[in-house]
Structure 1
């Protein structure tokens, strides 16, 4: 498994060169990157009270550091009020730039092949994916409640690209108190491949997922300073410590139900 140290640049409103297409929650835009090169990137705006942008950064950073295929490059884009109102005229936008998570478009002839079913063919393809258990382990560690097949892009062969990490830490509107006592959730990818049986992990899947989680410590050490920096910027001084504390507690999944045989909710 290869890894690399990720970098995230901030692109100001003047770096937006135009829209390619717009959906209700995101858009494909022509941006001018830090090297003054035009790049096509998907941008997702977040309201001020959302922690979704930090969640996206966390998942992208930790996935990249572990060699899990994801967008090759991401940015924080400050979207101007004019551009926001142009793209989404039915929404209310502040009179100041909106923080967006921007991820480079995945250039692949079959990149539109996103799976949203539990077809036997999909499960067979997933089980051949070398990073399947690393991805499941990462999303359990991050408490990504939106880890499902629809957020995977097949790029041919036995590889998938993971996208959309906004719902990590139990959802984008988490509080510090909620991170200390996380709600119960089942990893949807683990359930899809049959790694969970009657609320308990199967023995073989448990071994593979816990083995994959041994890479978390090195990934966290390499990304900690970057995550701390973005937590201070995006979350603020009062609760910026909370997501990193949660990640420390979950290193290697030691404080998760994957180290027990009782995945059912506790009362």
Structure 2
């Protein structure tokens, strides 16, 4: 089957489907030949602005070289790639997304004829190793807009407390939290003892709990863990696999 026919079939089929998940397809020249409504919301552009345009052109300049390498590797190795991406110029629900780049392989000759791109909110937890890697993948010094993450119910929490809670949610120990805080704020030296004091003397009181398990549970129920700690993260793109 001709390449053009395969692409037309993919385009026709996916244009008939309504999905809440961001979805786009590009050809081997990186040109977008179909994208759904949610995908347009992620890139914050109209259909006319992206169709038949190179995905590299509509990507952030500082990310283009890395993205091209990922796309080329996806085509040559015929294996999918995943990238965890944080961008504050996207709409808030799409700030943190896990992108999957999957090669589309023709059944005739086994050739890659394009790449399917999907995005989803990540649900896996961080660990000290991948957090360190993510912090080294920073693309810019853009912080989350403060007004976007402030809310009356969290107004009493300092940025340091927000960050400690976020890391506790991801099962970091006090020592791992102290190490992470020192990495992102090298002007200060944090210890597991200083972290423990903040938890016991401030966070227990603010959440009206008496132990760490209850604190984690109550924090999770508030859904505050979906907010990005400004102290911890700048924008980044991190190659997961």
TM-score with structure 2 length normalisation?
0.30
Bigger-Rg structure (1/2) = 2
More helix by share: 2
